[in-house]
């Protein structure tokens, strides 16, 4: 008999659900920052809006890797039980949105930042 804690439907969709929430949060923060004029407030060499977007991006990537770590533990615990295949699908579902997002540079391109303000 299978224990209810053995297989969670949430584990199957956790990676994509996290990506969906992160996508909405990042674009929501972008629009809120523009509406409140955060793109005009400097925080060191970057605008406040960009700094918040970068921070949220790294938080969501860390959360994605946490989902992957949890899925790997679930796969290891499943062993050769009948639901092990579904646990692997959950692991791959965590990898699918996290790995490509980890390799992109959406708002983190600091080569475009003007480090020394020009005197015009």
Residue 83 lies in a domain: yes
Q: Is residue 4 part of a domain?
A: no
Q: Is 23 a domain residue?
A: yes
The number of domains in the chain is: 1
DSSP H/E element including 15? helix 9-35
Distance set, CA 45 to CA 78, 83, 116 (Å): 48, 51, 8
Task: At 10, list the tokens.
Answer: 């949430």
Q: Mean pLDDT over residues 47-58, rounded?
A: 89
In a domain, 49, yes or no: yes
Q: Which of 76, 80, 103, 87 is nearest to 15 (CA)?
A: 87
The residue range of the domain holding 81 is 10-102
Q: Is residue 89 part of a domain?
A: yes
| 60 assigned to some structural domain | yes
C-alpha distances (whole Å) from 50 to each of 8, 73, 85, 100, 108 are 37, 35, 41, 21, 8
Give φ, ψ of 42 to 5 degrees: -90, 135
84 or 108: whose pLDDT is higher?
84
For range 38-45, the mean pLDDT: 88
Supply angle C-alpha 76, 2, 91, rounded to 5: 35
| 115 in a structural domain | no
Choice among 29-33, 66-70, 93-97 with the minimum mean pLDDT: 93-97
Flag whether 86 is in a domain: yes
pLDDT of amino acid 103: 65
With 0.85 as the threshold, say if the pTM is over it: no
The overall average pLDDT reported for the chain is 78
pLDDT category at 29 given cuts 50, 70, 90 is very high
More confident residue, 65 or 98: 65
Mean pLDDT computed over 29-40: 91
Helices 9-35, 48-78: axis angle to 10 degrees equals 180
Average pLDDT over residues 95-108: 66
CA of 34: how far to CAs of 30, 73, 80, 100, 113, in Å?
Answer: 6, 41, 52, 27, 18
In this structure, of 9-13, 19-23, 116-120, the range with the lowest mean pLDDT score is: 116-120
Instruction: Dig out the tokens for 45 from the structure.
Output: 């060499």
């Amino acid at each position: 008999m299978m224990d209810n804690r053995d297989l969670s439907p949430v584990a199957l969709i956790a990676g994509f659900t996290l990506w969906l929430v992160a996508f909405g949060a990042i674009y929501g923060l972008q629009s809120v920052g523009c509406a409140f004029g955060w793109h005009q407030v400097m925080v060191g060499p970057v605008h406040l809006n960009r700094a918040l977007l970068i921070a949220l991006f790294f938080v969501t990537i860390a959360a994605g890797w946490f989902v992957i770590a949890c899925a790997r533990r679930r796969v290891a615990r499943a062993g050769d039980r009948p639901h092990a295949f579904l646990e692997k699908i959950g692991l791959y579902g965590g990898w699918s949105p996290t790995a490509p997002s980890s390799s992109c540079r959406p708002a983190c391109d600091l080569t475009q930042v003007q480090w020394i303000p020009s005197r015009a």
